Amino acid sequence: MKIDDIDHIYRDGRHYDCLFGDPDMSFWLNIVATYGTPILELGCGTGKITIPLAEADCKITGIDLSEAMLEHARAKTQNRNLPVCFKLGDMTEFKEEEKFKTIILPSNNLAHLMDYREAEKCFRAVFNHLDDDGAFVIDAFVPAISILSKSSDDVETLSEYDDPDGEGKIEVTATAIYENHLQIRRVTTFHTRSDGTVSKGYLNMRMYFPQELEALLNHCGFEVTEKHGNYQKDQVSSNSIKQIIVAKKKERANQSE
C-alpha cells in the first residue's frame, strides 16, 4: 500500500470525521466482550472505533498509513490517559511485539488491499500477531453488481457537512468506473465548497467477493466461524450490503510466513 494511492478524504482527520458518521459501537463492544483484549485495529484512521473501545477500558493499538489521520486521533485523546496507542504503519507488513486476542479490519478497509497478494500479506501478518484462541474480524462491503455496473456518468452524493474551518457547507459527490478484470472500482470524488470551488480526489477500491474472501482466509490458515450480513448479526443473504466475518486460526495451521 502507498499513501499516494489514497484519496484526500484520508488526509485531514477533521474533514474525515465530518464526512463519515459514527460507527455502530454496540457491535464492536460485543465483539471485544466475546473475544477479549488486547485489540489491534488495522486502518484505525481518526480513532472512530479505537477511541470508544479505549474509553470502555479496552487496551487497543491502532495502525494507519496516514500520519494526518493519526495526528487527529492523538489530538482527540491528548491528556485523557486512555489505554490506546496509535502507530504509523502498513497493514500488510506490520510487526508488533505482543499478540492480540482480537484483531479487527473494519470500515471496508479491506478494499485498500489492491490484489490478492496484498490481502495474503495482511492476513499472514494478522495470523502471526493473533493469539491462538483469538479472533480476526473483517467488516467489508458485498460487491453488488447493481452498483458496480453503474455508468461513469452517474453522480452519487456521498455527504454534505459543515466545513470545520467555518467556511460554509461542503458537498461531496462521486463518480466511478469498475474494471472487471482487476476487480477494482476507481472512484473520483468532488468536494464542492459554498463558494463554488471544487477539489477532486481519487480512490481505488478492490472488491472482494464473499467466496473469494473466505478462500483467501482459508489459504492463510484461518477458518470462518461466523458470517453476518449487518451489525445486527443477521444471516448473510443475496440482499446483504455487508459481509462481516469472524475468523479463527485453524487447528494445526501452518504458522510460518
Q: Which residues of 125-135 are buried (b: 16+ CB within 10 A; e: fewer)?
A: bbbebbbeebb
CB 45 within 8 A of CB 13: yes
SS3 44: coil
Q: Are residues 138 and 151 in the same domain?
A: no
CA dist 175 and 218 (Å) reads 34
- pLDDT for 74 equals 97
DSSP 209-255: -HHHHHHHHHHTTEEEEEEESSTT-PPP-TT-SEEEEEEEEPTT---
Domain that holds residue 151: 145-206
The answer to whether residue 257 sits within a structural domain is: no
Tens place of pLDDT for every residue, the chain, 257 residues? 444 445 666 768 888 888 888 899 999 999 999 999 999 999 999 999 999 999 999 999 999 999 999 999 999 999 999 999 999 999 999 999 999 999 999 999 999 999 999 999 999 999 999 999 999 999 999 999 999 999 999 999 998 999 888 889 999 999 999 999 999 999 999 999 999 999 888 889 999 999 999 999 999 999 999 999 999 999 999 999 999 999 999 975 444 44
Q: Are residues 129 and 222 in the same domain?
A: yes
CA dist 193 and 168 (Å) reads 7
* CATH number assigned to the domain comprising residue 235: 3.40.50.150
Q: Are residues 88 and 191 in the same domain?
A: no
The answer to whether residue 49 sits within a structural domain is: yes
Q: Are residues 187 and 77 in the same domain?
A: no
Cell of residue 199, nine digits: 477539489
Bridge partners (DSSP) of residue 170 are 161, 193
- pLDDT for 12 equals 82
CB 248 within 8 A of CB 220: no
Q: Are residues 88 and 213 in the same domain?
A: yes
CA dist 175 and 178 (Å) reads 10
Q: Residue 81 — left, alpha, or beta (φ > 0 → left; ψ -120 to 50 → alpha)?
A: left
Q: Are residues 30 and 117 in the same domain?
A: yes
Number of domains in the chain: 2
